[in-house]
Each structure stands twice: as structure tokens, then as C-alpha cells.
Amino acid sequence: MATGLDGRSVIVTGAGSGIGRAAALAFAAEGSKVVVADLNAETAAKVVSEIEEAGGSAVAVTGDLSEQAVVDRVTSTAVERFGGVDVLVNNAGIMDRMSAAADVSDAEWERVIRVNLTAPFLLTRAVLPHLLKAGKGAIVNTASEAGLRGSAAGAAYTASKHGVVGLTKNLAVMYRDQGIRTNAIAPGGTATGIAVDIDGEAHGPQALGPYFGNVGRVSEPEEQAAAIVFLASDAASNINGVVLAVDNGWSAV
């Protein structure tokens, strides 16, 4: 089935590694022009090189996506280099320390919410005028298993990903009549290579431990990327407001 992604302008955040990198490469393989947005300039440049070496088109934009100036730069780069924005993938995110609420510092709470929820909102707000002008477009957010339940992460991360789910559904309702679809994936355990620092934490990891036996097979980033590409594609043209669990059945347990 044709994806309809050839020639489309796609922004992928957190595209320097893990799920974001896999998604950027997958969109490029479909013929999309990709804005590789990441905090790490070195990894972003490497992904751009991979895409270009395969005959694709990509550009890197680096910086903290919770800062409006960086958000504006990402958006303007897509418009100036590729003629607009057709697809936005809000994928960048960070883990917490698996902390229970009583153990979460103000700094940890603010950092996790800022990166995981505020940044996707800011970039979505910046991109929406371009999607509305075109009368079509797709947004795909990376939520999490932790956005579906209370037993997959600490308080800050769980709250942030429930927020992503809520934002996804609200956008789907608010903009469906303007031709804009918004969906999300909810990854389960995924081999991204990102370490979780739980040194000094006791209650949170201990309370969550019994639930992690249900994780099942850990997925590869490419499996998550395949779901993202599908939701952004014409093959999903009537799918809107869905949170697709890509978790080997963890959410069904």
C-alpha cells in the first residue's frame, strides 16, 4: 500500500538516536525530506549523513526544544528548506528516576514536564499554522506505556506522558475538520540504549518492580518507527485520535 510520503516535509524530534533516528531514516526511505531535530549536534549530523548517503534529503537543527527560539528555528528551517511542513513527529523525551511523588524534586518535575510535554506543545503550536494553511497534515506524538497506566515509570514521567495522550486527543478533535490528523504511539520496552539513573531511589523502583515482569519482549526502535510512519501515511487517512500501543501486549495485561 502506498504511503504517500514521497516528497513530503517531515520534522522528527529526538532524531539523533533511538526511536527518533529510526523514524527519520524510515521517512527518508519513503522519499520524505526530513528535518532532524535533536539536542545533540553530533548525532543529528550523523543521521543527516546517513540519509544523504542513501540518496535522501535532510537537514539538522539542534537545540533545546522547550525553548521558543529553537522551536521557531526548527519550523522555519522546514519551511525554507523544504517548502512547508506536512508531518510533525514529536518524539524527543527523557526518563525520570522512577521516583514516587514524595521523592520528586521540583527540578526533576519541571525538567521532565518541560521536555516531554511543554516542548511537543510548543512545536505543535508553531507548526499548526502551516498545516492549517495547507488544509492537511499529520502529527504523531511519542507517548509511552506510562501514558496508559500508573505502573510503568515514576510520577513525573507518568504525568508527562498522560499529558501527551491528552494533548493528542484534544488536537485530534480540535483540528479534524481542517484535515489534520493527530495520533500517538505508546512504546513499551524499547532498546534505545538510554540508561535510567535510579541511584538513591528506593520506594519508586521497589513499588514498580513487580509490574515489570509483564513487559515481554523488548522492541527495536525500527518497530516503533514503522508504527510512526504508518500513522503519518495515507494508509492511516481515517485514523485520528488513536494512541497505538506498540508494546508486545504489555498494555493488555
Does the active-site annotation cover 157?
Answer: yes
**Cell 518535575, residue?**
109
- 243 with 147: CB under 8 angstroms? yes
Question: What is the rounded radius of gyration, in angstroms, for the C-alpha atoms of the chain?
Answer: 17
Q: Would you give the distance in Å from CA 88 to the centre of its chain?
A: 9
Task: Determine which one of 27, 82, 157, 250 is catalytic.
Answer: 157
**Residue 176: partners with Cβ closer than 8 Å, 6 or more residues away:** 240, 241
Contact 76, 82 (CB under 8 A): no
Distances (CA, A) of 71 to 61, 64, 76, 77, 109: 10, 8, 9, 10, 22
Which residues are identified as catalytic?
157
